[in-house]
């Protein structure tokens, strides 16, 4: 497809301008540099348009009922150019991608990208994160978890924090900024762990109290249970599906999440808490013989994602479960010292308005 109907062009321009009038003042008011400006708001314009400082990240969303892109590369480039011109962003600062349906865990990126890598640093609530706009499908910071990250900071003071499926480590950064005694970041990817370490160190989280473990999360949980280690706060934001060669078995969130949650709960201290998130469409939480899960989804969907509601979030709290535990001899707190000081700007954490 080489042309875009004029009606579709005009509708996209008007939609961007409406969202700009609403979200630009909101983002400025809360000091937010990265946010979702357009979220496939109209059915015939399946685009996610994100602002990252002075850059745009534009993804065409493949429909669930088709095996290929709905419009194709040329359409994506035209619509990206329209977005850039409407917002006054130079074309070389706008990145165009296709976000495909997940087939068997694969997410082959059919992106049409600039010849060189585009990376930048984004500030959020006084913290900074390296963003990679070109080399991966995702950029390094899940924007819809902005409020959840602030919640992690609020819960982390003087606690030992475990971040599973840590990706680029943003939850660990917030935990350290919130005064965590220790953080443990676990991911199967060495590239992501290096990214996480870079983000942590850029925010002053340096030292032996911040550890990074390259391992399958389920295997890590089993091994930690055998050591008697306990954590005060666990963040678990797993992928929908994973079949990496480094894993012992294929992971399917809908099928495997009860076992995953049970394994996480087994590592919590007496007053520990588990934050469990799912980004999977149609996901339904199934648990048995666990503390009652409190659904925090409504409190953690930010303003720029209010229409799409891209995640669900639950908290499991051992303090309210009635389960009594003795502190183990080899606890995480006995192996780590103090963390970095909390940034003064932490109280600027953006909340949904």
pLDDT of 37 reads: 97
pLDDT of 345 reads: 39
pLDDT of 226 reads: 86
Checking DSSP bridges between strand 312-317 and strand 293-295, what pairing results, if any? antiparallel
Tell which residue, 142, 151, 185, 181, has the closest CA to residue 314. 151
Tell which residue, 280, 242, 262, has the closest CA to residue 165. 242
pLDDT of 289 reads: 77
Write the pLDDT tens digit of every residue in 180-199.
Answer: 999 999 999 999 999 999 99
Which residues are bridge partners to 353 per DSSP?
none
Write the pLDDT tens digit of every residue in 53-91.
Answer: 999 999 998 866 555 556 888 899 999 999 999 999 999
Write the pLDDT tens digit of every residue in 130-147.
Answer: 999 999 999 999 999 999
pLDDT of 329 reads: 35
**Where do the domains of the chain lie, and which CATH numbers do they carry?**
6-116 (3.30.750.80), 143-348 (3.40.50.150)
Indicate the helix (H) or strand (E) that contains 255: helix 253-265
Residue by residue, DSSP assigns 40-106 as S-BTTB-EEEEEETTEEEEEEEPPTT-SS-SS-HHHHHHHHHHHHHHHT--GGGEEEEEE---BTTB
If you average pLDDT over every residue of the chain, what do you get? Answer: 85
- Higher pLDDT: 134 or 346? It is 134
In this prediction the pTM is 0.86
* Three-state secondary-structure class, residue 269: strand
Write the pLDDT tens digit of every residue in 254-263.
Answer: 788 889 999 9
Which residues are bridge partners to 242 per DSSP?
251
- Higher pLDDT: 192 or 3? It is 192
pLDDT of 83 reads: 97
pLDDT of 73 reads: 87
Inform me whether the pLDDT recorded for 248 exceeds 80.
Answer: no
DSSP conformational letter for 112: B
Please, are residues 351 and 147 in contact by the beta-carbon 8 Å criterion?
yes
Residue spans of beta strands (DSSP E) within the chain: 34-39, 47-52, 55-61, 94-99, 119-124, 127-132, 160-164, 182-187, 210-214, 231-236, 241-242, 251-252, 268-278, 293-295, 312-317
pLDDT of 48 reads: 95
Give the model's confidence band at 246: pLDDT under 50 very low, under 70 low, under 90 confident, else very high.
Answer: low
Write the pLDDT tens digit of every residue in 44-58.
Answer: 899 999 999 999 999
Mean pLDDT in residue range 261-272? 95
Checking DSSP bridges between strand 231-236 and strand 160-164, what pairing results, if any? parallel
Inform me whether the pLDDT recorded for 108 exceeds 50.
Answer: no
Neighbours of 329 (CB within 10 A): 8
Calculate the CA dihedral of residues 5, 6, 10, 16 and round it to 10 degrees.
40
Neighbours of 330 (CB within 10 A): 11
């Amino acid at each position: 497809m080489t042309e875009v109907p004029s009606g579709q062009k005009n509708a996209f321009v008007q939609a961007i301008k409406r969202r700009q009038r609403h979200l630009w003042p909101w983002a400025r008011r809360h000091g937010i540099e990265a946010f979702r400006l357009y979220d496939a708001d109209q059915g015939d314009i399946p685009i996610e348009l994100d602002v990252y400082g002075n850059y745009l990240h534009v993804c065409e969303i493949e429909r669930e009922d088709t095996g290929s892109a709905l419009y194709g590369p040329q359409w994506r480039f035209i619509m990206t150019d329209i977005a850039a011109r409407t917002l006054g962003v130079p074309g070389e600062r706008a990145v165009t991608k296709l976000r495909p349906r997940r087939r068997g865990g694969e997410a082959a990126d059919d992106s049409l990208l600039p010849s060189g890598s585009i990376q930048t640093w984004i500030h959020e609530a006084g913290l900074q994160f390296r963003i990679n706009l070109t080399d991966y499908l995702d950029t390094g910071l899940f924007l819809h978890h902005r409020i959840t990250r602030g919640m992690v900071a609020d819960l982390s003071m003087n606690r030992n924090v475990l971040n599973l499926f840590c990706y680029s480590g943003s939850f660990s950064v917030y935990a350290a900024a919130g005064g965590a005694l220790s953080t443990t970041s676990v991911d199967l990817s060495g590239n992501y762990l290096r990214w996480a370490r870079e983000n942590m160190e850029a925010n002053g989280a340096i030292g032996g109290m911040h550890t990074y473990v390259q391992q399958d999360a389920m295997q890590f949980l089993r091994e930690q249970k055998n050591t008697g280690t306990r954590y005060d706060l666990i963040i678990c934001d797993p992928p929908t599906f994973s079949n990496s060669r480094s894993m012992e078995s294929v992971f399917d969130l809908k099928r495997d999440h009860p076992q995953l949650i049970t394994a996480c709960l087994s590592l919590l201290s007496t007053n520990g808490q588990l934050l469990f998130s799912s980004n999977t469409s149609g996901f339904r939480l199934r648990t048995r013989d666990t503390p009652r899960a409190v659904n925090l989804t409504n409190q953690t969907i930010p303003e720029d994602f209010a229409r799409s509601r891209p995640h669900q979030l639950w908290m499991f709290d051992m303090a309210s479960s009635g389960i009594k535990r003795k502190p183990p001899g080899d606890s995480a707190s006995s192996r780590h010292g103090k963390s970095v000081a909390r940034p003064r700007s932490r109280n600027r954490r953006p909340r949904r308005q």
